[in-house]
Structure 1
C-alpha cells in the first residue's frame, strides 16, 4: 500500500495502550487508540483507513473475540491481532478460526510485535496488489474490448456471452491471428471464474514426451530428469481456467488422460498413486480442421465432443472487412502509447489499401502493418507510402495492377523490409511480419541474410 498503514490499538490498560501506540508511531505507522471494544467499533465506523486492529483478548465488557466478530461483520478487510496471556492461548487459537490474522502472547518483545504486525501489513499490501492486477486484467480483456460490429462477429459475441455465464468446456476454432486467445481471456476475465487463475499452454510448443508432465505434474524420481515434485498446470489452474492452445497438436495418448480428467474432474501426477480432485474450466483452441483430424485418427472424437460443449468459430479478417477501420483506430491508440507518438489517424488512401488487402495473417498481420507504419513513418496521419510495399503494391480483390514476383523473391523482400524497419531487432521484425521468432530465424537462414 502507498500510504502509511494505520493501526488501531485497543487496550483498557492506559499505560500498555500508550506504550504500543508510541512504538508504532516511531516505526512510521499512523495510530489510533481506543480504551474499549465499544470505542474501537465507533472508531472503525467513523473512518475507513484502519488496516490492523491490535486488541487485548480480556477486557471489561466486550472481549477481544466478540470484538473480532463485530469487526469482521463491519469491515471484513481489516486484519485483527489479539494480545493474550499464556493462560488464554486456547481462546486466541479459537479466534484464529473466526478470522483473526494472528495472536501474540504477553509479555511480548517489541521486535516480535513489530514483526507480527509488519508481516500482516505486507500481506495486506500484496492482497491489494493482486486485487488491483486482477481488476486491470478484467478491464483489459473484458467482453466489450473485443473490436468489431460486423454480422459475423455478432454471432461470436452471442457464443462468448453463453460461455462466460457457464462453466462448460469451450472449443475456439479459427485461423492463426484471428484472436482466439483474446476470446478465451474474455470468457475467463468477464465470467464466473474471473477471480481464479488463467493458465495458458501452447500444446505445439511443448515437447511431446513432456506435455503430460506439464499438464498433470509428476513426483520426484518418476522419470529421468524429475529431480523434484511438480504440481502441473491443471493444479495451477485450480479454481480458474486452463487454456489449451493448439489442442490438435496434443499427442494422442495424452488426449486420453485429458478426457478422463474432464470427465472425472480428478488428476493423477506421473508416479503418484493418489488422485486429486480439481475444479478447472478448460478452454481449447485450434487453427486446424478438427473434422479432418478426427478422420485421420490424430484427434479423439470423444474428446472433441467433451471439449466442444460450446464451440466458437472466429471468422478470418477477410470476412469482416467492415471491422478494419475500427481495428486500425485501436492499433493507432495502442502504438501512440508504445512509440510515444501522436498519430491522429490514417489517410483515406492508406485505409483503402488496408481494407482491400486479403489479410492471410488476419488481425495479427493488420496489427503488424500498423506497427510498421509507426516504425518507418514520421507524420501525424498514416500515409499509403508508410505501409509495407507488399500492401501498397496490391490493389486487392478484382485488381489488375499486381507486379508479380516469385514467392521466394517476395518473401526475401518482405524479410529485408521488416528487418530494416525494425533496425535489426528480430522480435520487432517478427511482429511486423506476424510470425514467430523461430520462423523468422529460419527465414533469415534460408535467405542467407546477415544480421
Structure 2
C-alpha cells in the first residue's frame, strides 16, 4: 500500500458519481479517487483511508436530506481534521453555505460543478493536507532538521534563500512572501515556522469567494445570530493559530474591511468574534503571501497601504524556476526520491536525456509543475519496469515548446522536435510503442533510438 493521498466523492446518484470520477481522473490530481453513495460506507472509507479531500453532495442521503450531509461534515471534522471538505449542492442557499462552513467545509459550490474550478480546489486541498502532514511529522521528529532537505538547490539563489529563512525564522517578525504561482511560497512559510521557537500550530488560510462577513467569520469566528445563517458559535482560524503561525495565502484577495480588522489585531493583539462584545487576545506570527504585482495591487486598492506596511517588515521574493534553472536537476532528483518514499515507486534516478529535457523547459508553473511532472514520470517509468525516468516518461509543455531554443544548435533542435513527436504519439496510443511507431511510420529500432536519446 502507498501513501498516495485520496479524494473521496460522496453522492447518492451513482451515475453522477461515475461521471464526476471520470472527469476528475484526467485532471492530473496525483491522488486516488474513491466514491461512496451511502452515509455508512462514506464513514467507513473516511475512518479507514483518512482522505485528504472529500467532495460531498449535501443531499446525498435520501432519508435524512441535507441533515445527512451535515452529519457527514461533522464526522469528517471529528475523525480526520486535516481533510478538506468541499460541499456540492443543488440548493444555492446562503444559509446552507454558512452552515456548511460552520461544520468544517472549506468550500461550498452549486451543482453541476465546474470541473476545472473543482479540480483547482481539490489540488489546493491536497496541498494543505500535505502541509499538515509535514507539520505533524516535524513535531514528532520524523524529518531531518537539515534545511537543505526542505529547500533544495545548489544555486547562489537557493543558498541565499536558505540563509534568509534561517535569519527570519529567529526574528518572529511578520513576513511577506511574493512570487509566481508554484514558486514555493507555502514551503517557505512552513520552513519559517519549523525553524522558529513557536510552540503553536502552523495554520494556513486562503480567502474563498465569499463576502467580507463570511471571510471575517472564517478568520475571527462568530457568535450565534451574528448574521443570517449563523446558527451556532464558531471558533475562527485566528484562535487556532495562537502561539503559532498564521499563513495567509493570496492575501490580496482579502476584502478591505477584513484587512482593517487584521491590522487592528496585529497592532493590539486583540479581536472580537463577529457579533460578540467580548475582546479576546491572540499572539501569533503572521506570514502573508501573494502572487500579485504588489505595486499594481496597491494602486488598485486590492491591498491597503497601511496593512501592507504592517505585514511587510520583512520580505522574501521568490524567483520563478526559469531564473534559477540550474536547480532543476537537484529538484527533479529530490522529487524522485520523495515519490519513491511517498508512493512506493521503484524508480531511483533520471536518464541524462530526460534531465536535459527538464533543464531546457521554461516551467511556467514553476517548482510545483516540475514536481507534478516528475511524480507522473515516476509512475510511467515504473509501469514499463524502468529504474530511471526516460524522455518517454515526461509529459511537459505539450502545448509549449521548451525554452531557450536559440541556445541550441540546429541538430539539437531537430532531435528535440523528434522527441516531442514521439512523446505525442505515445500519449495518443496509451504508451504502446508498437502502435506509436506505426502511426509515425517508423521502424521499431528507429523509434526506440529516439526514445533513448
| TM-score, scaled relative to structure 1 | 0.58
Matches within 5 A, 1:359-438: 359-377=363-381, 378=384, 379-388=386-395, 390=397, 394-397=401-404, 398=406, 399=408, 401=413
Which residue of the partner structure matches residue 261 of structure 1? 265
Which residue of the partner structure matches residue 58 of structure 1? none
1:288 has 2:288 as partner: no
* Distance (Å, rounded) in 1 between the aligned partners of 2:257 and 2:400: 48
Which residue of the partner structure matches residue 280 of structure 2? 276
CA apart distance, 1:141: 8.2
Matches within 5 A, 1:45-56: none
Which residue of the partner structure matches residue 216 of structure 1? 220
Runs (5+) with no aligned partner, structure 1: 1-130, 404-409, 422-451
SS of alignment partner, residue 312 of structure 1: strand
1:264-301 Cα offsets, whole Å, 9 max, x none, are 11111111112111111110000111111101112101
SS of alignment partner, residue 165 of structure 1: helix
1:298 has 2:302 as partner: yes
1:135-175 Cα offsets, whole Å, 9 max, x none, are 34783686332111211223322321222101110100011
Which residue of the partner structure matches residue 162 of structure 1? 167
SS of alignment partner, residue 364 of structure 1: helix
**CA contact under 8 A between 2:241 and 2:284: conserved in structure 1?**
yes
Which residue of the partner structure matches residue 33 of structure 1? none
Q: Structure 1's 219 and 395: CA in aligned 2 closer, same or farther, altered over 3 A?
A: closer
1:365-421 Cα offsets, whole Å, 9 max, x none, are 001111221232221111111111636984530257499xxxxxx9xx99x959x79
CA apart distance, 1:202: 0.9
SS of alignment partner, residue 242 of structure 2: coil
Which residue of the partner structure matches residue 188 of structure 2? 183
* Distance (Å, rounded) in 2 between the aligned partners of 1:271 and 1:402: 67
**CA contact under 8 A between 1:350 and 1:387: conserved in structure 2?**
yes
Task: Tell me how large the CA RMSD over aligned residues is.
Answer: 3.2
1:172 has 2:201 as partner: no
1:316 has 2:323 as partner: no
Please, which of 199, 206, 227 is the counterpart of residue 203 of structure 2? 199
**CA contact under 8 A between 2:345 and 2:379: conserved in structure 1?**
no
* Distance (Å, rounded) in 1 between the aligned partners of 2:145 and 2:205: 18
Q: Structure 1's 207 and 334: CA in aligned 2 closer, same or farther, altered over 3 A?
A: farther
Q: Structure 1's 306 and 339: CA in aligned 2 closer, same or farther, altered over 3 A?
A: same
* Distance (Å, rounded) in 2 between the aligned partners of 1:138 and 1:267: 36
Matches within 5 A, 1:105-184: 133-136=137-140, 139=143, 143-144=147-148, 145-184=150-189
**CA contact under 8 A between 2:225 and 2:231: conserved in structure 1?**
yes
Larger displacement relative to structure 2 (299-308 or 367-376) = 367-376
Q: Structure 1's 134 and 357: CA in aligned 2 closer, same or farther, altered over 3 A?
A: closer
SS of alignment partner, residue 264 of structure 2: helix
* Distance (Å, rounded) in 1 between the aligned partners of 2:275 and 2:145: 38
Which residue of the partner structure matches residue 358 of structure 2? 354
**CA contact under 8 A between 2:251 and 2:290: conserved in structure 1?**
yes
Which residue of the partner structure matches residue 23 of structure 1? none
1:200-231 Cα offsets, whole Å, 9 max, x none, are 01124655541101111111111111111112
